[in-house]
Amino acid sequence: MDHPLLTALRPLLTAEAQAEAHAHGADPADLEQSVWLRLLERLDAGGPPSDPPGWLRRAVRAEARLVRRTTWLERPYDVEPADDPGRDPEHVLLASAARRALRDAVRRLPGRCPGLLEALLSPRDLTYREIAGELGISQGSLGPERSRCLGCLRRLLTPEVAAR
């Protein structure tokens, strides 16, 4: 027998899982199942959340980020470390230099661009809502602002890329 809360949240969960899964490299059905398990554990432990739709949206995003982090950290068993070109000392050095050049270029950008791009590059994996809150700007202006900042960064890096 279905719990009435599960029946009510099923369409929302399906939609949220579909929306988040592909961006994070997850299977929507797996993401949906993970969130159902979290909800059932929550129901067993202390009852339903006070704001079920809000809780469900946050849970879907958290599970999607977890899948992305796990996928990024996992290594296939059949790859030997010696066969991985990313382990080559020269490759590691060049990648480090490229990251350093990018961070230096970001710091030279005008206006709010350095703060915005640092937030986007943050390992904390911030959402647009969190970035907007940190920077004190509206969430709707992040996309156009990001586009403008990336254009500035592209123009700033073009001479450096062309010189190589």
Tens-digit pLDDT profile for residues 117-130: 988 888 888 888 88
Q: For residue range 30-80, what is the model confidence (pLDDT) as tens digits?
A: 889 988 888 888 888 888 888 889 999 999 999 888 888 887 776 666 555
Quick one: 63 and 102 in the same domain? no
Q: Of 41, 73, 105, at which residue does a domain stop?
A: 73
Q: Of 31, 52, 73, at which residue does a domain stop?
A: 73
Quick one: 89 and 159 in the same domain? yes
Q: How far apart are CA 51 and CA 12, in angstroms?
A: 13
Quick one: 98 and 140 in the same domain? yes
Note down the domain range covering 48.
4-73
In the chain, the number of structural domains is: 2
**CATH assignment at residue 116:** 1.10.10.10
Q: How far apart are CA 81 and CA 75, in angstroms?
A: 10
Quick one: 13 and 69 in the same domain? yes
Quick one: 109 and 136 in the same domain? yes
Quick one: 129 and 86 in the same domain? yes
Quick one: 57 and 98 in the same domain? no
What is the torsional sign of CA 142, 145, 149, 154? positive
Q: How far apart are CA 144 and CA 23, in angstroms?
A: 20
More confident residue, 25 or 60: 60
**Confidence tier at 163 by pLDDT (50, 70, 90):** low
Quick one: 158 and 90 in the same domain? yes
Q: Of 51, 73, 95, at which residue does a domain stop?
A: 73
What is this structure's pTM? 0.44
